[in-house]
Amino acid sequence: MDEGFVFLLVCGIVWLLWGCLSRASRAREEARLRDAPCHHGIRGGLEQGLCPICRGANVLRWEEMQRLTRARVQKLDYLLLLSPRAFEDVVAVMFESLGFSVRKTPLSGDWGYDGIARKGVRTVVYECKRYGQDKPVGRPLLQQFLGAMGDVGVGAAQEPAEGWFITTGYFTKTAVKYAAEKGIQLVGSELLQSLMEQAFPLSGDAATMRSMCRICGEITVFDLSKAEKEKTCRKGHVVQNECSEYIDDRLSANLVFEGMKCFCGRSMRVISGRYGKFWGCTGYPSCRTTRPYQSPLEESDKRISALLSTENGEQA
């Protein structure tokens, strides 16, 4: 038998065995993490939610983050801090909360508009510009938008599409005149804030947040205006403010795991492992919580959208 063929055959067998062993090793590690006990000693208490206190603390944390995010998007100052992509996502979720079904265009190479929102026979084609308050939207942008709207088919049973141009900046006089002539709805900062209030009605006090003690389950209220990051519950345990990023709008507009807490209350960090990067708890090995890695910007945009659209405190 040819020596070269034998060599290739042996290499192929070794490669297959290595792959099988690697997959088996990863499966064992995932099972170990899934069944790892929480600090109450319950196996699977953290990852599988089998511990009532850990599960309750996680659910409350997500509910508070969701509530505070919905309160924040009603503020123009907060919207101005979002990335353009996150702003588009927030507007899409706003339409969905108002009863529309939304189809967004691709992030790159869009068709001159950012999305199409439909509700019954009504169709809204919209474009978003997350501009500074001193940056205007002029007539040329509206002309481009109107041209792009001509390519949108709405179907014989539906009414002609409405055009909405949404911005955190302002519109020039020529743009306002052109929009009135062509029937384009201009959504400036004031109308945008009003729509956000309708889509995300405020629940509770936006200046406070609740956090559950992960030892005894006692709920503690934090005053965000005082930048409180930890307090002592009535039973004497230290309780972390698990939504401390909401103390500052600049932080809550960039919700990444680096600036957030793990389920155990510690911070997350990027780790380079055998299979690539992932997010891991800084409390390792006592806490082995991990999350798939995405860039900070991807994490930020994904998390804000999830917080606005997820119901009943369930994590996306």
What is the CATH number for 110?
A: 3.40.1350.10
Structure tokens at 75: 């503020």
Which residues on adjacent β-strands are paired with residue 123?
Answer: 118
- Quote the domain boundaries for residue 224: 207-309
Regarding whether 244 and 142 lie in a shared domain, the answer is: no
Mean pLDDT for the chain? 80
**pLDDT value of residue 166:** 97
User: Domain total for the chain?
Assistant: 2
Last residue of a domain, one of 199, 224, 255: 199
Regarding whether 270 and 185 lie in a shared domain, the answer is: no
**pLDDT value of residue 82:** 84
Regarding whether 299 and 232 lie in a shared domain, the answer is: yes
- Does residue 43 sit within a domain? no
In whole angstroms, give the CA distance from residue 211 to residue 261: 12
Residues 153-164 pLDDT 10s: 544 445 678 999
Residues 285-294 pLDDT 10s: 777 777 766 5
pLDDT-based confidence at 257, cuts 50/70/90? very low
> What DSSP string describes 268-285?
EEEEEETTEEEEEETTTT
Residues 131-145 pLDDT 10s: 999 999 999 999 999
**pLDDT value of residue 118:** 92
Query: How many residues comprise the chain?
Result: 316
Lowest mean pLDDT among 16-25, 93-102, 297-306: 297-306
**pLDDT value of residue 198:** 93
**pLDDT value of residue 214:** 87
- Three-class secondary structure of residue 65 per DSSP: helix
**pLDDT value of residue 233:** 92
In whole angstroms, give the CA distance from residue 253 to residue 283: 26
pLDDT-based confidence at 40, cuts 50/70/90? confident
